[in-house]
Amino acid sequence: MNLKKVLSPDTVWIDLKADTKQGIIEEMIDRLVAAGKFSNRAVVLEAVMDRESKMSTGMQNGVAIPHGKTDEIKSLVAAVGLNKAGVDFDSMDGEPCTIFIMTLSPVKRTGPHIQFLAEISRLISQASERDKLLACTTHQEIYDLLTGK
């Protein structure tokens, strides 16, 4: 999958401010609303929080992948954000998360969601790549790193 088709400079952020799981999710959703990716914040927030209540999307190595499915979304929406201080996200390894990858997709479409996660996971599976991401100082640097610009 070409990440340029899913990510844009206005959906990658180096400066997430929230310091809680709920806060990170809300902040990312608010920024996606501001970027014009969807308008019904409440429905999208409910979908992501419903998924999160089933099992934490805090993975390991500082990565969290909050996601949700809702008919409010017509095609895959994705975002990547950093909070370099780290946030407790109930991760599998018990460590704080610093890299947040959010995906939102229509209820009946799984292909693009899986393809995006496979591609982004390939990019951040190595510690050196995660370090490069965390070393970014601008939104554009993150975008360029992830999209191979």
Q: Which of 21, 67, 113, 139 is catalytic?
A: 67
H or E element that contains 113: helix 111-124
Distance from C-alpha of 17 to C-alpha of 122, rounded to nearest angstrom: 26
Q: Report the alpha-carbon distance of residue 138 to residue 141 in Å, rounded.
A: 5
Specify whether the CB–CB gap between 84 and 17 falls below 8 A.
no
- Reading the block at residue 103, the tokens are 């995906």
How many C-beta neighbours within 10 Å does residue 26 have? 16
Identify whether the C-beta of residue 14 lies closer than 8 Å to the C-beta of residue 137: yes
Helices 127-135 & 139-147 angle (0-180, nearest 10): 150
113 is annotated as an active-site residue: no
* Cβ proximity of 136 and 14 under 8 Å: yes
Catalytic machinery residues: 67
